[in-house]
Structure formats: C-alpha cells, structure tokens
Structure 1
Amino acid sequence: MAVLEILEVPHPGLRAVAKPVETVDDAVRKIVADMFDTMYDARGIGLAATQVAIEQRIVVIDLQETEGEGEDAKPVRKPLVYINPELVSVSEETSFYNEGCLSIPEQYAEVERPTSCRARWLDEQGAVQEGDLDGLLATALQHEIDHLNGVLFIDHISKLKRDMLLKKLTKMRKAA
C-alpha cells in the first residue's frame, strides 16, 4: 500500500467538508488501506480522509492499546473502519481529554467532549453498523468526524489557547 501526505494547518483542505461515500468498493478499500499505512507510519490512533486530501467520509482508528506490562508490553492492533460515520446520539456527561492531531504535530490541548456516543456507519463491506462507544474510542471518533466536517480540535478551545498553540507550532517549524 502507500503512505499518503498528511495535510497540516493552515492547509485549506483541512477545512473541507467531506462528501458521503456512494459505494463501498475496491477503490474505497484501497483508500482505507493507504490511510492505515499512513496513520501507523505517523504513529497516530486515528485519521480522517480529509487529512490526506481525500474529500470522502472515511475514518480509520486503531487505539493500539498495549497488552502485557513493562518491557513485555506490546501494542495490539485492532483496526476500525468507519465509512460515512454519523453520531446518532451523545451523552450529556462530558469529559476532558488531552487531544493531539497528526495535522497539528506535537501540539495538545484539553478538549471537552461527550463521554459516550451512539454512532452509525458502513463497514468495509458496505454493511450498516451501529454501536455504542465510550472512553477514548468515543473521543477519537468524535475528533475524526469533526475533521470530516472541516473542524479541528483547536476549534474547541479558547482563542487565547489556540493562538498560543499555533504560535508554538510556528516556532517549532522554524527551528526544524
């Protein structure tokens, strides 16, 4: 497969609103495979198609939680594919998570989101799936759906924090 280029802020493509996938076919499955290659290469846990300049509603997630402890701990891959994902409902209860993003490298901020959600999506075969998600998976899916809608995690924080984060990113880029 292929590792794709990840768009970084302030690239205007990150503000694009993705279009629904009409048919889940081999071309879509190739995009999914390339997105996983790209996400794993970048050491991320989620990636939306808009982050790799593909304006389709496709998300890949793999929390890569570890199995074992200490030096024996190994990440376990559990790749998840969400095509045309939508939130059916979200919990009233919220929680904060220190979010980062492959499109805003090495920058993090506390973002408040619903703790759990019910989502509906198509799988890689085109079958409709629906399920309840909570914890980090719920946060990750909400983060990636935001990407599909042209929204970045920094849009959920104060202007002051956002400006500081972007200034830090600019400084980091100049130093590189």
Structure 2
Amino acid sequence: MKYPVTVYGDPLLRKKAKEIDKDDPNLKEIIENMWETMYYSDGVGLAAPQVGKSIRLFVIDASSGADEEPELEGFKKVFINPEIIDTDGEEWIMNEGCLSLPEIREDVSRPDEVTIRYFDENFEEHEETYRGFAGRVIQHEYDHLEGVLFIDHLSPLRKRLLKGKLQNIAKGKVIPHYRIKVP
C-alpha cells in the first residue's frame, strides 16, 4: 500500500520519533509499505515520520548512485532505532530534495562520513561507517527522526527566500506526482 507523504507544515515532521519495539506486529507491513511508497515517489530514502508514523525507522535504496560510487551497487537497507555515533570528514555541499518538501531543492553542507548503530529488519544490530552519497542520505533520513528538515541546515536568508514556497506546500498548493497529506 502506498502511503500519502506528509508534507511541510505538519507538526509530526518536527517531533522526535519514538523507538520501535522489536515485537511490533505491524513492523513488517510498515516496512513493505514504505518501500512501495518510496519507489512510487522516486525517492532514495524515506523516514517513517514522512508517512505519518512517529517511529524511528527509515529505508534507503542508494543503488542509483552506483554509477559514480560503485560500492553503492545493491545498497538497500532498513534502519530501525538508529543512533548516529559520530560524523567526521570534510563538509561538502550537495543539492538535496525531500519528498516532504516537493518542488524545493537546495545546496546543503554535511560531513562526509557518518558512523551509525542500528537494527535491520530482522532486529540484528549493526554499527557501520558510511561516506559519500550513502552517508549523506543516512544523515538526511536520520534528521527526520529528530524532527529536522534539510531546510534547517540553510542560512536564515535562504530560508526567508523560501518562505512563500514553504507556505504553498503547507497549503497543498503543489502538485507532486505522488499523493501527499497536507496539514
């Protein structure tokens, strides 16, 4: 089932998400629906708050970046109850977008490397370090679990310049090709 994507203006996107109990009977179905929603929406990652669920879960399929970073071939992962342990490396800028902020793309600076501890869909624990595109997508999706949007990394001036677009998103005055849930 494809979920509608929760968009800017919904208070849920600004809340810190709650940990998931490994015995949650709905978890498998939620994960399957998130994959379906992400692929339908042409996303690379999707966090549970973006589909109206305030739980610590995100999915990523960064294999589309394998042309530039061959190690991303087959990179498809589920992150449950993740915790960023460390970020390191030089900050670098990349143009980011977000399904919850349709029609907005901006240059965002993030550290090159992230070390994260998480559980996979089988509740097996992992601690791994990622760089480049995978590291960036992980940081972007993790931010959603903390109630942070990529626009929060922009300068105050840049945010002011986006005010009209953000208001339009909150009012549903955007037409993405996927279903959205307007606040």
TM-score, structure 2 length as denominator? 0.83
Gaps of 5+ in 2: 68-72, 176-183
Question: How many residues matched?
Answer: 168
Distance (whole Å) between structure 2 residues aligned to residue 143 and residue 154 of structure 1: 11
Tell me what 1:12 maps to.
11
What one-letter code is carried by the residue in structure 1 that aligns with 2:119? L
Distance (whole Å) between structure 1 residues aligned to residue 37 and residue 94 of structure 2: 23
Q: 1:111 to 1:24 in 2, by over 3 A?
A: farther
Offset at residue 24 of structure 1 (A):
5.2
Tell me what 1:73 maps to.
none
Query: 1:18-65 CA distances to partner (integer Å, 9 max, x unpaired)?
Result: 001121555212111111100001001011001111111000001242
Determine which of 81, 85, 88 is the counterpart of 1:88.
85
RMSD: 2.1
SS in structure 2 at match of 1:124: coil
Gaps of 5+ in 1: 69-75
Tell me what 2:179 maps to.
none
What one-letter code is carried by the residue in structure 2 that aligns with 1:14? L
Which runs of structure 1 show a deviation greater than 3 angstroms over 4 or more consecutive aligned residues?
A: 168-176
Q: Relative contact order, CA 8 A, sep 6+: which one is greater? A: 2
Tell me what 1:50 maps to.
49
Q: Is the 8 A contact 2:103 2:174 kept in 1?
A: no
Determine which of 127, 143, 147 is the counterpart of 2:144.
147
Q: 1:166 to 1:104 in 2, by over 3 A?
A: farther
Task: Please show how residues 63-82 of structure 1 align to structure 2 within 5 Å.
Answer: 63-65=62-64, 78-82=75-79
Distance (whole Å) between structure 2 residues aligned to residue 26 and residue 81 of structure 1: 17
Q: Is the 8 A contact 1:24 1:124 kept in 2?
A: no
TM-score, structure 1 length as denominator? 0.87
The share of aligned pairs that are identical, in percent, is: 38
